[in-house]
Each structure stands twice: as C-alpha cells, then as structure tokens.
Amino acid sequence: MNLRSLILKRMQQLDRCYANPEIDPEKLMQKECQILSEVADAMAKAGFPLLHAVGMRSRVDGNRVKTYLSKCLRALQPEPVKPDMLSLRQAATLLGYTEKGLRKIVARKGIQFFQSRPWAPIKFKREWIDAFIMEHSTMQARPTARSMARLQSRHGSNWDL
C-alpha cells in the first residue's frame, strides 16, 4: 500500500468513527493517536521529517488529526511544472536525480541555473535542463568499416546499416 492510499484509508476510518455516536471517547482518542503516529512514521520513512515532527507533537483532537492528514496528502502531491522556471525539485525529478544530487551538480557549476542571492531558491529554465541532457547523453556509435567486415565474414552477407 502506498502512502497516499494509507492516508486516505485512515481518513475514512476516522470518518466512520466520528459518525458513530456510540463510540467511547477514550477509544476514539486511542484510535486518533494510533492513526497519527502511524502516518507520522510513514511520512518520516518517505522523507518528510518535518511532517513527522509535527505529527508527533500534535495534541490529539478530531480537527487536528484531520488537518494533519490533509497536510500530509498535500505534501505528497507533485508540484505543477511551470513553463518559465523550474524549481530544484522539479528539475531533479525531470533529470532523475535527487535534490541533493542536483545540488552537487549546481555546486560544481555543471548545469546552468539562476539564483538571485546566495540563500535564494535555485531555478532552472527548461532549455538549460534540455542542454544538460544533451551534453550528458551518450549516442550509439555507428558501426566502423572493420566491424562491418567482421559481420560480413561471420554471416556471409552484405548488410546495409
């Protein structure tokens, strides 16, 4: 089960508990605590340590638990790709790198980027990403005359490649 479906399933469980007028308040609080800690641990494992910390510090009541679960769902949604400038996360996703890996490439000046101040977010134009891909892509070599002669001698036919 992926993280998004886990959160949605737990939200449905909470809704059923809240809809049941006969549920013991103590049992409801235990259920909320259990769901909160389960989702917070899953968020930490998925690379969201701040949401884990928020979840573990939260006092338990229905509104806070539902708000926390909603924030977790929002954090899991991919950022929309904007046509003008891409964030570090978006560029890393396009290139198949982690954010940390792309930061290392930026530090080596291995890719063109924009940063208005040293502490400002790093941005990339789509063209810069495409240029980086072209520079670092390997092209399949055309067969040499020697390799063609070897193929012809082995297979006894003329191949037009």
Give domain status of residue 32, yes or no: yes
Rounded Cα–Cα distance for residues 86 and 93 (Å): 10
Q: Are residues 66 and 93 in the same domain?
A: no
The structural domain count of the chain equals: 2
Give domain status of residue 144, yes or no: no
Q: What is the pLDDT of residues 18-37, one digit of tens each?
A: 888 888 888 888 888 888 88
**Are 115 and 123 spatial neighbours (Cβ–Cβ below 8 Å)?**
yes
Rounded Cα–Cα distance for residues 18 and 94 (Å): 42
pTM of the predicted model over 0.75 = no
Q: What is the pLDDT of residues 57-104, one digit of tens each?
A: 556 666 777 887 888 888 888 766 556 889 999 999 989 899 999 999
Q: Are residues 24 and 67 in the same domain?
A: yes
Give domain status of residue 143, yes or no: no
Q: Are residues 38 and 55 in the same domain?
A: yes
**Are 144 and 154 spatial neighbours (Cβ–Cβ below 8 Å)?**
no
What's residue 84's pLDDT?
82
- Residue 160 clears pLDDT 70, i.e. is over it: no
The one-letter code for the residue type at 24 is: D
154 vs 98, residue with greater confidence = 98
Q: Are residues 108 and 44 in the same domain?
A: no
Q: In which domain, by residue range, is 113 found?
A: 85-135
